[in-house]
């Protein structure tokens, strides 16, 4: 049975998917429109829309997993430092504050996470021109690498979970953390791609955002309330508990 921390991260991805569907819905629509216009093309018939969206998302998730591995590797290097616990505690508190900010954003109370997305825009400005090489999408050979580039789109939701990956203490756990998160976002973005605006309008309803935001908010609040033992069972398997923590 997987550690409870990975399940919690999966739920953050699933519930935060209302943000994903809203933010990335326009991108998904842009990827789908050329397929609709080329529906009579024999190549398009050989690559059904659902399959292309699956490979967009597999590519996106692979980038998340890679980023999680890098962050986990950086975190593992920190274990070699003296006085690691105060650093770990500071990062742990910061990660849970980001979850609180995410919950408030989903509810519609705060846009505090936008500053992290502005920081990520620097990287995205370098990555975005590469997407043109794979457009228009005619098959999996374009969909997969395009999805991998899409995975680097600045997103406060992603950065919130990357902060937890940093605390995992190993590249493997960091990668698994982001993989669990990516799997959580998959249903919302697959449906956003296949049903387009109709699904996005439903998932952006006030009640859905409120319920999702409150659950994510509770994760952050629980984490902060249990900071002394680094979240206890909530983040078990994700947050590394070093000796003396």
Task: Inform me whether the pLDDT recorded for 119 exceeds 80.
Answer: no
Q: Does residue 67 have a pLDDT over 50?
A: yes
Please indicate, yes or no, if residue 241 is contained in any of the structural domains.
Answer: no
Alpha-carbon distance values, 54 to 20, 28, 36, 102 (Å): 15, 12, 17, 26
Rg of the chain over all Cα atoms, to the nearest angstrom = 19
Q: How confident is the model at residue 157 (pLDDT cuts 50, 70, 90)?
A: confident
Q: How many domains does the chain have?
A: 1
Quickly state the pLDDT bin for 20 (edges 50, 70, 90).
Answer: low
**Higher pLDDT, residue 127 or 45:** 127
Q: How far is Cα 155 from Cα 214, in angstroms, rounded to an integer?
A: 19
The least confident of 68-72, 144-148, 160-164 is 160-164
pLDDT of residue 47: 54
Whether 236 is covered by a domain: the verdict is no
What's the 3-state SS for 160-188? HHHHHHHCCCCHHHHHHHHHHHHHHHHHH
Residue 107's pLDDT band (boundaries 50, 70, 90)? confident
Q: Is residue 81 predicted with pLDDT exceeding 70? A: no
Q: What is the mean pLDDT of residues 31-59?
A: 64
User: Of all residues in the chain, what percent carry a pLDDT higher than 90?
Assistant: 15
Predicted pLDDT at 10: 93
Residue 152 located in a structural domain: yes
**Is position 170 within any domain?**
yes
Tokens of 57: 């998302």
**Residue numbers of the domain that contains 112:** 4-229
pTM, entire model: 0.82
**Residue among 40, 57, 4 at smallest CA distance from 233:** 4
Composition of the chain by helix, strand, coil, percent to 5 = 80, 0, 20
13 domain-assigned:
yes
Rounded CA-CA distance 184/194 in Å is 17
Q: Is the peptide bond before 81 cis (omega within 30 degrees of 0)?
A: no
The pLDDT score that the predictor gives to residue 46 is 41
Long-range Cβ contacts of 201-204 (<8 Å, 24+ apart): 203/17, 203/18, 203/21, 203/22, 204/18, 204/21, 204/22
Residue 17 resides in a domain: yes
Least confident piece of the model among 26-35, 44-53, 87-96: 26-35
Classify residue 234: in a domain, yes or no: no
Lowest mean pLDDT among 65-74, 103-112, 143-152: 103-112
242 lies in some domain: no
């Amino acid at each position: 049975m997987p550690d409870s921390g990975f399940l919690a991260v999966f739920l953050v991805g699933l519930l935060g998917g209302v943000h994903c569907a809203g933010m990335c819905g326009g991108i998904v629509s842009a990827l789908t429109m050329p397929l609709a216009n080329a529906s009579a093309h024999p190549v398009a018939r050989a690559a059904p829309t659902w399959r292309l969206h699956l490979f967009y998302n597999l590519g996106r998730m692979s980038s998340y997993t890679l980023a999680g591995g890098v962050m986990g590797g950086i975190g593992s290097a920190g274990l070699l430092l003296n006085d690691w616990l105060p650093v770990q505690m500071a990062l742990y508190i910061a990660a849970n504050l980001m979850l609180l900010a995410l919950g408030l954003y989903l509810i519609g109370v705060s846009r505090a996470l936008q500053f992290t997305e502005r920081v990520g825009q620097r990287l995205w400005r370098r990555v975005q021109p590469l997407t043109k090489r794979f457009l228009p999408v005619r098959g999996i050979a374009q969909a997969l690498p395009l999805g991998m580039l899409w995975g680097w789109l600045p997103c406060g939701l992603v950065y919130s979970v990357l902060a937890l990956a940093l605390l995992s203490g190993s590249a493997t756990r960091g990668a698994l953390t982001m993989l669990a998160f990516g799997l959580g976002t998959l249903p919302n973005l697959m449906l956003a791609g296949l049903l387009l605006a109709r699904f996005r309008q439903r998932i952006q309803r006030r009640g859905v955002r409120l319920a999702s935001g409150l659950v994510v908010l509770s994760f952050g609040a629980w984490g902060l309330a249990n900071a002394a033992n680094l979240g206890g069972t909530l983040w078990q398997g994700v947050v590394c508990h070093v000796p003396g923590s």
